[in-house]
Structure 1
Amino acid sequence: MSELARNAGYGRNKKLKAALLQHRAGTLEGLSERLFGLLFSGLVYPQIWEDPAVDIEAMELSAGHRIVTIGSGGCNMLAYLSRAPEAIDVVDLNPHHIALNRLKLAAFRHLPSHADVTRFLAGNHATNNREAYSMFIEPMLDVQTRDYWNGRDAFGRRRVDVFTRNIYRAGLLGRFILLGHIVARLHGLDPREFVEARSLREQRQFFETRIAPLFDRPLIRWMTSRKASLFGLGIPPQQFDELASLSEDNSLAPVLKRRLEKLTCHFPLKDNYFAWQAFARRYPEKQEGMPPDYLRADHYAAIRANAGRVRVHHASFTELLAAKPAASVDRFVLLDAQDWMNENQINALWSEISRTASQGAIVIFRTAAEKSILDGKLSPALLDLWTYERERSVALGMRDRSAIYGGFHIYRKRA
């Protein structure tokens, strides 16, 4: 059995447990953390839910940059390749994400054309993806990744066969979106009707008349006041507590309502594939709107040419940086990982970031709440090494099409 397969379960994944567990098992907080860890040990994000266009602009990404990023679903890492960076190190504690990132890279490197890549990765229920995998991808995979995708899921199916269905309906997030659709239908709303809107005005009308009233329903307010009910969004207990503190009844209903208002009303539907995944549970067809950035035809040649510049590691961010030379990284992408961390973990991470950061290096990350996670947690000595670009962070955060985060943050290394 390969290392990826051995570490796929939460009980055996020591790195994931070390990152998640901050309370004893006998406490309510500890039980909540362990339940989240159990759910998070499988495939969570078949698609990453951070906007790569915002990332690329925030990082001022261009040829020659050296990047370290968290992998998640792999979409953003691939989008970064369109700017021809010198190297990308991808880290993730979830072995399912490691296997997915490696497979997506192999698809770009070895499938014959852009149309083949799109058919394989777009979730279009293409049954011939099985043959494409066997002919072009499987022979080129490393042993661990090949063993993972040829292995069996909980229903006895080969894992790779998810690409003959719709992988974006799989994973913890895919199941959470399905649950959201079921709850909405119980209240008389079919979320798929949203993609019939033809203008921002119609999108706004749909939200205000059909979606917004749901958040006053007792069942939804009860569900959104339970930590476990939102684990499917990847919201760990620490994030839930901070967000719930903003509500009088300890419910995330008001927060989620505001985030959905942004998702549905602030961007034209044809330009926002995140909204298509949330409401239609698929990507738009060519005549309906734009695909994810990494599947755009105008990015294909650059991504294919640069895919060999990526290395994928089953490691934590801090662990990988500790093995790197000083001043060897230009761009750091932390996603929302710091929302999970305690003060010691954040300081250990930023100690390594500061050591390995080149002159003018940029760090970007997101937070569930609006304020930066570093406030009051990062030591003044480390914080003084960086400039927080507050106004630019707010401006770019407003343009994040995924709309699920409260804050987007940019830090630049001082000269």
Structure 2
Amino acid sequence: MTTLAPPANPSGTQTSPPTAYPPRKRTAVMKDWLFEKVHGNKLVYNTCWEDPRCDRALLDLNAESDVVMITSAGDNALAYLLDGPKRINCIDVNPRQNALLELKIAALQTLDWPNFFQLFGEGRQPDFPGLYTRHLRPGLRPESQQYWDRQQHYFNPKGARAGLYFHGGSGLFAWCASRLLGIGGSLRKDIDRLLDAKDLTEQRERYFALEDRLLKRLLGGKWRQNVSLSLVGVPASQRELIDQEHEGCAGYVRAAFRQVFTELPIADNYFYRLYLHGKYTTSCCPDYLMQENFQQLGAASDRIDLHTTTITRFLQEQPGAYSQFILLDHQDWLAANAPAALQEEWELIMANSRPGTRILLRSAASRPETVPDFVRQRCRFRNDLTAPQAKLDRVGTYAGVFLLEVTK
């Protein structure tokens, strides 16, 4: 969630029409084919790749909050519950993402913490079929039951791709990356030494000593980069923005890694540890997995409503004066592929906002090109809040993170 360049127009003044999204090229069509081929009807995200610690600082959630957000893997929705919002509406067009969050909610409500952590912390549960049948399945909607009836092997502790976090699109990428970085032995040992650094000085020295080898091994050529980005849910439109603004994927990743590995302590960075090791630990894991939060989240989990639909359709069917919108980065795809749908979505967001509503969105672009003029006229960009949080973000994979506050 780091901003690698300052957002344009922080005051929300009008700009000319967006220019970051050129007409679709044949190569982009092929990349979208690859994206669809990789994901198809699959779970894409088995974990959230946005830092909820920064989100909670930006969103100002409270007991009156009525939230609209994209589900993703559901981790951050559960983290937001710790701030006591009235309601969280989780929306995703992929029913498998909602099925994953629904499974987590069922586990919070029916399991004890050791079993809950083994399930979603380690991602491996030898008795998953038994736990699923006795405790989890009865609390799921029919469509989620049908999905998990078929995918119980995700939690199998045995096999080459053992555990939840080596399954799904992003899980396959994590498995490939962990195998790739393990080849030869010395690079993997140096990465583990980096993760064990005692302070930032030691951390910086260890990172810069391995940076060139890490990027060469991880990124490879253009074809491997396209496959890797497809696996982690980055469509062609965002890859084009990366090429335009950051001299390609290598420059983009280098900037992100330097922010994460040389500017912030690595001890609590559960994001990258997960992708290297395929599991969390009790001392390095998301907030929703911490034992001290278990009872609170179990009691509050009925405040989450799941909707398998689009943001637009949800707002058409359930209008209201919502207080926070968390849009992730899906508007990059809309801007490049369905500009009319992007316009309609923004019109409905504005119609269902109130003064003070906060809208959090991310982008592969460093400028908020997806925000139209009529939205800027009613909102101000809170760069005073996003700029300091960008320096604290533990992920660093977004070029732009923008927070809008509705003023009228």
Smaller-chain TM-score bracket: 0.7 to 0.9
**Structure 1 residue aligned with 2:72:** 72
Q: Distance in 2 between matches of 1:163 and 1:182?
A: 19
Q: What is the CA deviation profile of residues 166-199 of structure 1, one whole-angstrom value per residue up to 9, with x for unaligned ones?
A: 2112111122123223443447511444333333
- Going from structure 1 to structure 2, the CA distance change for 1:224 and 1:51 (only over 3 Å counts) comes to farther
Partner AA of 2:397 in structure 1:
I
Q: Distance in 1 between matches of 2:134 and 2:372?
A: 53
347, 350, 356: which one aligns with 1:351 = 347
Q: What is the CA deviation profile of residues 28-86 of structure 1, one whole-angstrom value per residue up to 9, with x for unaligned ones?
A: 33232122123233111100100111111101111121011101111001111112211
Query: What is the CA-CA distance between 1:293 and the residue it aligns to?
Result: 1.1
Check conservation: 2:270, 2:286, Cα contact below 8 A.
yes
Query: What is the CA-CA distance between 1:387 and the residue it aligns to?
Result: 0.9
Check conservation: 2:178, 2:277, Cα contact below 8 A.
no
**Structure 1 residue aligned with 2:187:** 189
273, 283, 289: which one aligns with 2:270 = 273
Q: Distance in 2 between matches of 1:340 and 1:96?
A: 20
**Structure 2 residue aligned with 1:392:** 385
- Greater RCO structure (CA 8 Å; 6+ sep): 2
**Structure 1 residue aligned with 2:160:** none
**Structure 1 residue aligned with 2:376:** 383
Residue 312 (str. 1) matches residue 311 (str. 2): no
- Going from structure 1 to structure 2, the CA distance change for 1:208 and 1:312 (only over 3 Å counts) comes to same
TM-score, with normalisation over the residues of structure 1?
A: 0.84
Q: What is the CA deviation profile of residues 310-347 of structure 1, one whole-angstrom value per residue up to 9, with x for unaligned ones?
A: 111111111111212242x1110001111111232322
**Structure 2 residue aligned with 1:404:** 397
Partner AA of 1:260 in structure 2:
F
Q: What is the CA deviation profile of residues 225-272 of structure 1, one whole-angstrom value per residue up to 9, with x for unaligned ones?
A: 853342122221111111112355xx3111111112222223322211
- Going from structure 1 to structure 2, the CA distance change for 1:212 and 1:27 (only over 3 Å counts) comes to closer
Q: Distance in 1 between matches of 2:294 and 2:147?
A: 26
Partner AA of 2:314 in structure 1:
L
Check conservation: 1:385, 1:414, Cα contact below 8 A.
yes
**Structure 2 residue aligned with 1:170:** 167
Give 5+ residue unaligned stretches, structure 2: 1-21, 158-162
**Structure 2 residue aligned with 1:336:** 329
Q: Distance in 1 between matches of 2:180 and 2:285?
A: 27
Check conservation: 1:200, 1:266, Cα contact below 8 A.
yes
2:89 counterpart SS class = strand
Check conservation: 1:176, 1:232, Cα contact below 8 A.
yes
Q: Distance in 1 between matches of 2:61 and 2:381?
A: 18
- Going from structure 1 to structure 2, the CA distance change for 1:363 and 1:247 (only over 3 Å counts) comes to closer
TM-score, with normalisation over the residues of structure 2?
A: 0.85
359, 366, 373: which one aligns with 2:369 = 373
**Structure 2 residue aligned with 1:232:** 231
Query: What is the CA-CA distance between 1:214 and the residue it aligns to?
Result: 4.0
Check conservation: 2:325, 2:359, Cα contact below 8 A.
yes
Residue 296 (str. 1) matches residue 290 (str. 2): yes
Identity within the alignment, %: 25
Partner AA of 2:379 in structure 1:
W
1:246 counterpart SS class = helix
- Going from structure 1 to structure 2, the CA distance change for 1:183 and 1:223 (only over 3 Å counts) comes to farther
Check conservation: 2:187, 2:213, Cα contact below 8 A.
no
**Structure 1 residue aligned with 2:115:** 116
Partner AA of 2:274 in structure 1:
Q
Check conservation: 1:243, 1:255, Cα contact below 8 A.
yes
Q: What is the CA deviation profile of residues 80-103 of structure 1, one whole-angstrom value per residue up to 9, with x for unaligned ones?
A: 111221111111111221211111
Q: Distance in 1 between matches of 2:222 and 2:320?
A: 47
**What are the equivalent positions in structure 2 for 1:241-260 lying under 5 Å apart?**
241-248=240-247, 251-260=248-257
- Going from structure 1 to structure 2, the CA distance change for 1:388 and 1:97 (only over 3 Å counts) comes to same
Larger mean CA deviation between 94-103 and 28-37 belongs to: 28-37
Partner AA of 2:317 in structure 1:
A
